[in-house]
């Protein structure tokens, strides 16, 4: 049996194995779908444990010392994800990864730790198979990598054994909603009230915003908070490889990529989704995690006057611009920097760069305006907010497109008047 840091470590392994067999038999007999009907599985587990306890009064079987713990373990085995379920249920755990069956790590508060959970190779393969069951995605020799979304919205990434030495490597990134609005990010210390007010004003004004940063810097959370500021009368279409956004908006369509089938057909790429989104009459387009040639389609959409937002990996706002000038060239040999650089300068209005402090705290490092000017193939920028130690401070810079703020009824000059 797997050993976790939770109560199952204290249970009698042989007893739980016996009860597990009874629960699975009852689930099959009653035709219960263990993934969808978790409450029914829990009811069956409670009945099985109760009957066992009643038999223990006669001395025929060993009594259950922790009935609630046993029921939880049985439900995790049958309906959940076994030894990983306690970590999936733990709101403090942000990410889980398996390097090999005996080395399971979790991340809390931006810091990772080795757990005392020990699995077998077969258990890992069984967990992956169960996780992929409802996603419609597959993992095999022809497709040794997979990105999938778990029923709870968590993101699963698996690298098949052979590509990953000795064992399949598993990573589960939980999307924990710590903030759904910019004001809540202020409360968490990620940015200042003035910076939050500016970003909200930029969204209302229809500026094009790029959120950049490293892995686990909080890009998706920031994108969600920015999207929450979009007026209710707008129509949003989002495109992601694996859906992570949770936009609190009445008119939102979420698009997600799809793997090719066994015949090698039916693949839907992020680039396909960006192009398709433009046919759905959006007034805002959001692209999660720009990585490749879809950057060209995004730029063309933004350059046509359609307000949008996107995220990408970059170490600074400047590097984000450089990356946006490079990725579109992957779309074809006929795409040159002579076209891309001025298009980026004309299409992107604001870059928000996020980082992670030494203590694991996610925060805004800089907010930069892009005025649209290019000098010697270098896009000019105008810093608006920069990080000075622990403080995000206002600079002398001003954003472009002041007329857009005015149309939205925002006095952006007055909003940014305080400096320092």
Q: Lowest-confidence range among 170-179, 215-224, 321-330?
A: 170-179
Residue after which a domain boundary falls, among 80, 101, 121? 80
Please check whether residue 420 lies inside any domain of the structure.
Answer: no
Please check whether residue 361 lies inside any domain of the structure.
Answer: yes
For residues 383 and 280, state if they share a domain. Answer: yes
Residue 417 scores a pLDDT above 90: no
For residues 210 and 248, state if they share a domain. Answer: yes
- Residue whose C-alpha is closest to residue 307's, from 157, 419, 216, 408: 408
CA pair distance 186, 197, nearest whole angstrom: 10
Please give the structure tokens belonging to residue 102: 């005996």
CA pair distance 313, 310, nearest whole angstrom: 11
CATH number, domain at 130? Answer: 3.30.450.370
Q: Lowest-confidence range among 54-68, 327-341, 358-372?
A: 54-68
Residue 1 scores a pLDDT above 60: no
CA pair distance 311, 314, nearest whole angstrom: 9
CATH number, domain at 272? Answer: 3.40.50.300
Q: How far from 152 is each of 81, 83, 345, 389, 391, CA to CA, in Å? A: 12, 17, 39, 37, 35
For residues 88 and 134, state if they share a domain. Answer: yes
Residue 192 scores a pLDDT above 50: yes
Mean pLDDT of 162-180: 84
Residue 2 scores a pLDDT above 60: no
DSSP 313-367: E-SSHHHHHHHHHHGGGGG-TT--HHHHHHHHHHH--EEEEEEE-TTS-EEEEEE
Residue after which a domain boundary falls, among 80, 105, 122? 80
For residues 116 and 3, state if they share a domain. Answer: no
For residues 148 and 246, state if they share a domain. Answer: no
Q: Which stretches of 248-316 are DSSP H helices?
A: 270-277, 294-303
What mean pLDDT, rounded, does the chain reach?
88
b/e string for 62-97 if b means 16 or more Cβ within 10 A?
eebeeeebbbbbbbbbbbbbbbbbbbbeeeebbbbb
Specify whether the CB–CB gap between 160 and 167 falls below 8 A.
no
In the prediction, which pLDDT does 134 show? 66
In the prediction, which pLDDT does 380 show? 95
For residues 171 and 123, state if they share a domain. Answer: yes
For residues 213 and 353, state if they share a domain. Answer: yes
Please check whether residue 161 lies inside any domain of the structure.
Answer: yes
Mean pLDDT of 375-384: 93
Q: Which residues pair with 285 in a beta bridge?
A: 237, 308
For residues 189 and 313, state if they share a domain. Answer: yes
Please give the structure tokens belonging to residue 413: 């000059």
Domain range spanning residue 91? 81-176
Does the predicted TM-score (pTM) go above 0.85? no
The domain total for the chain is 3
For residues 207 and 296, state if they share a domain. Answer: yes
CA pair distance 181, 222, nearest whole angstrom: 8
Mean pLDDT of 178-198: 93
CA pair distance 277, 387, nearest whole angstrom: 36
Please give the structure tokens belonging to residue 168: 């399949």
> How many residues are given for the chain?
420
Q: Pick 272 or 418 by higher pLDDT.
A: 272
In the prediction, which pLDDT does 420 show? 60
Residue 11 scores a pLDDT above 50: no
In the prediction, which pLDDT does 5 show? 39
Instruction: Give the start-end residues of each E strand in 60-205.
Output: 93-100, 103-108, 111-114, 145-149, 155-159, 169-173
Q: Lowest-confidence range among 19-33, 140-154, 185-199?
A: 140-154
Mean pLDDT of 345-370: 93
Could you count the other beta carbons within 10 Å of the beta carbon of residue 262? 11
In the prediction, which pLDDT does 4 show? 39
Mean pLDDT of 39-51: 90
CA pair distance 269, 145, nearest whole angstrom: 15
For residues 375 and 393, state if they share a domain. Answer: yes
Specify whether the CB–CB gap between 86 and 5 falls below 8 A.
yes
Specify whether the CB–CB gap between 240 and 268 falls below 8 A.
no
- Residue whose C-alpha is closest to residue 285's, from 246, 237, 253: 237
Residue after which a domain boundary falls, among 153, 176, 199? 176
- Residue whose C-alpha is closest to residue 362's, from 219, 218, 180: 218
What lies within 8 Å, CB to CB, of 132 at 6+ separation is 138, 139, 146, 148, 156, 158
For residues 347 and 407, state if they share a domain. Answer: yes
Residue-wise pLDDT tens digits, 117-154: 998 888 888 888 878 876 777 787 777 888 888 877 78
Specify whether the CB–CB gap between 139 and 133 falls below 8 A.
no
Specify whether the CB–CB gap between 146 and 139 falls below 8 A.
yes
- Phi/psi for 209 (5° steps) reads -120, 130
Residue-wise pLDDT tens digits, 229-251: 999 999 999 999 988 898 888 99
Q: How far from 409 is each of 198, 228, 360, 415, CA to CA, in Å? A: 13, 18, 38, 12
Is 274 in a helix, a strand, or coil?
helix
In the prediction, which pLDDT does 6 show? 40
For residues 226 and 107, state if they share a domain. Answer: no
């Amino acid at each position: 049996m797997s050993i976790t840091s939770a109560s199952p470590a204290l249970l009698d392994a042989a007893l739980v194995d016996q009860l597990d067999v009874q629960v699975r038999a009852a689930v099959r007999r009653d035709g219960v779908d263990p993934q969808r009907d978790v409450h029914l599985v829990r009811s069956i587990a409670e009945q099985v444990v109760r009957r066992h306890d009643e038999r223990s009064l006669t001395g025929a079987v060993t009594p259950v010392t922790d009935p609630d713990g046993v029921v939880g373990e049985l439900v995790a085995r049958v309906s959940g994800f076994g030894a990983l379920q306690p970590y999936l249920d733990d709101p403090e755990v942000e990410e889980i990864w398996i390097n090999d069956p005996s080395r399971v790590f979790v991340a809390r508060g931006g810091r990772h730790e080795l757990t005392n959970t020990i699995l077998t190779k077969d258990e890992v393969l069984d967990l992956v198979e169960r996780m992929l069951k409802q996603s419609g995605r597959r993992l095999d020799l022809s497709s040794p990598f997979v990105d999938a979304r778990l029923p709870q919205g968590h993101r699963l990434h698996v690298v098949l054994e052979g590509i990953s030495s000795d064992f399949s490597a598993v990573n589960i990134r939980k999307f924990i909603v710590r903030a759904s609005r910019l004001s809540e990010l202020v409360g968490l210390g990620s940015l200042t009230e003035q910076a939050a007010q500016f970003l909200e004003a930029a969204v209302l004004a229809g500026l094009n915003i790029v959120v950049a940063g490293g892995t686990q810097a909080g890009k998706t959370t920031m994108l969600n908070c920015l999207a929450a500021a979009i007026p209710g009368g707008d129509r949003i279409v989002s495109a992601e490889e694996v859906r992570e956004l949770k936009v609190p908006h009445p008119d939102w369509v979420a698009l997600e990529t799809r793997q090719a089938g066994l015949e090698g057909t039916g693949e839907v790429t992020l680039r396909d989704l960006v192009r398709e989104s433009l046919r759905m009459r959006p007034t805002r387009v959001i692209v999660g995690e720009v990585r490749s040639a879809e950057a060209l389609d995004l730029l063309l959409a933004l350059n046509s006057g359609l307000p949008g937002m996107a995220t990408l990996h970059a170490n600074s706002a400047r590097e984000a611009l450089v990356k946006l000038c490079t990725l579109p060239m992957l779309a074809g040999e006929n795409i040159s920097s002579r076209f891309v650089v001025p298009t980026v300068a004309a299409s992107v209005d604001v870059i928000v760069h996020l980082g992670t402090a030494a203590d694991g705290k996610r925060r805004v490092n800089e907010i930069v305006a892009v005025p649209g000017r290019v000098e010697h193939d270098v896009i000019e920028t105008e810093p608006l907010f920069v990080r000075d130690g622990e403080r995000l401070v206002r600079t002398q810079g001003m954003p472009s497109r002041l007329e857009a703020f005015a149309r939205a009824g925002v006095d952006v000059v007055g909003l940014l008047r305080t400096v320092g």
